[in-house]
Amino acid sequence: MVLCLSRIAIPERPDPNGWQSWENYKAVLDIQLEQRPFITRYLDTLEIGFDADMGDLLITGTVYCGKGIALEVRNLFEYDDSHIPHRVRCSRYAYIGWQINGNLMLKYHNLHDNPDDYIHRVYDPATGQQALYEVLQRYQFPTFPEVLDELEYLARAL
């Protein structure tokens, strides 16, 4: 049985991935990652870098979770240093969750020609077959912690 969580019904709301201070974003993310028993490893596998030429921040790497699950992360942030404190806003996303040595579980991304199409896919972990496909609006797209919530929820079926 595939557990699917559609996000289409989420009503319009303020942009959950909108502008915020980098310090706040990083602090909330650190707390979210540290306080989740589901997460087993991330400190040495998730990197934060700054592209001085483009003026962007990038979070890349893999978060390892219980039940032999991994989440590949690639987030590109616009960086605005005209405000104090400096602000960031995630503009390009890719989250790919899978069973290590197994099948895909979920994908979220907007890394294609039209970055305003936020794609959400859920897969049957037993077969690797796609069970859900939807195109979301930006306000429906999850935050990093919400993606982790969904991956943990999907892991219940394993």
Q: Categorize the per-residue pLDDT at 2 as very low, low, confident or very high, splitting at 50, 70 and 90.
A: low
pLDDT digits (tens, 9 = 90+) for 12-66: 888 888 899 988 888 988 999 999 999 999 999 999 887 766 667 899 999 999 9
How is residue 48 written in tokens? 């934060």
Task: Give the pLDDT mean for 126-141.
Answer: 93
Look at 23-27, 118-122, 147-151 and tell me which has the smallest mean pLDDT: 23-27
Q: Which pLDDT does position 57 carry in this prediction?
A: 85
In the chain, where are the structural domains located? 20-155
Could you tell me which residues are beta bridge partners of residue 78?
56, 89
Whole-number Å distance between alpha carbons of 24 and 13: 20
Q: Which pLDDT does position 66 carry in this prediction?
A: 96
pLDDT digits (tens, 9 = 90+) for 64-119: 999 999 999 999 998 888 878 888 899 899 999 999 999 999 999 998 888 889 99
Residues ≥6 apart with Cβ < 8 Å to 54: none
Q: Categorize the per-residue pLDDT at 121 as very low, low, confident or very high, splitting at 50, 70 and 90.
A: very high
DSSP string, 96-152: EEEETTS-EEEEEE--SS-TT-EEEEEE-TTT--EEEEEEE-GGGSPPHHHHHHHHH
